[in-house]
Amino acid sequence: MTTQVQRGAETREESGFSGRSAAPAAGPSVPEASPAQVHDWLQRGEAVLIDVREPDEHARERIKGASLLPLSRFDARSAMAAAKPGQRTVFHCRSGRRSADAVRLAAASPLAHQTVLSMQGGIEEWKKCGLSVETNASVARIGVMRQVQIVIGVGVLAGTLLGWLVHPAFLLLSAFFGTGLIFAGATGTCGLAAVLARMPWNRPTAPR
């Protein structure tokens, strides 16, 4: 099976911001390989697989042998160092968007000296192909970034309702969360995500 080239931007991917954003804006197509092709390369030792999702996603469900290098803390030097001479570097995420961003970042680096690809469809497509994954049921089913969105939504709603029904001063609660969103967007840093990541329900135990 030959390497496929993506002809359009991914349209399905989880939304949300991460601890430190390193991903570029959507750009041109990137080289892709199907999960079956990637699996074949891994079996023959012809590629290394790098998971660019967040640590909680990787802990909850992962492809055996994949190393973790979150896109939010992407380092091209580390990515390039993972492969031996002659090996391909394949990035994967949940559905393909973040891994495509990782390919663009790696390809733009002066350290890029080997074939770099994105795995088409991410881990979701890998599972659809009947390929196995390792899971850890102890990790929260809701990812950290979705938890951030829930907490902020509840905070803004609570502040608005209390400000309307009880006392206008409660509107400061909504303003607090709004300010936090602006700070996260401007700096790429989300303190709430860092706090939630350390909560007991987000700490994995030994996988099954």
pLDDT, tens digit, 9 for 90 and up, residues 28-42: 689 999 999 999 999
Give the distance, in angstroms, between the CA of residue 42 and the centroid of all CA atoms in the same chain: 21
pLDDT of amino acid 183: 87
Tell me, yes or no, if 129 is annotated catalytic.
no
Region 55-64 average pLDDT: 89
Region 120-138 average pLDDT: 92
- For residue range 102-121, list pLDDT tens digits in order: 999 898 877 666 789 999 99
pLDDT of amino acid 140: 64
pLDDT of amino acid 71: 87
Q: Given 93, 103, 106, 197, which residue is catalytic?
A: 93
Confidence of residue 68 (pLDDT cuts 50, 70, 90): very high
- For residue range 160-203, list pLDDT tens digits in order: 999 999 999 999 999 999 999 998 878 767 888 888 877 877 77
Evaluate whether 48 touches 89 at the Cβ level (below 8 Å): yes
pLDDT of amino acid 189: 73
pLDDT of amino acid 11: 38
Mean pLDDT is lowest, of 19-23, 131-135, 145-149, for 19-23
Superfamily, domain 4-135 = Rhodanese-like domain (3.40.250.10)
- For residue range 40-50, list pLDDT tens digits in order: 999 999 999 99
The residue count of the chain comes to 208
pLDDT at 63 over 50: yes
pLDDT of amino acid 59: 86
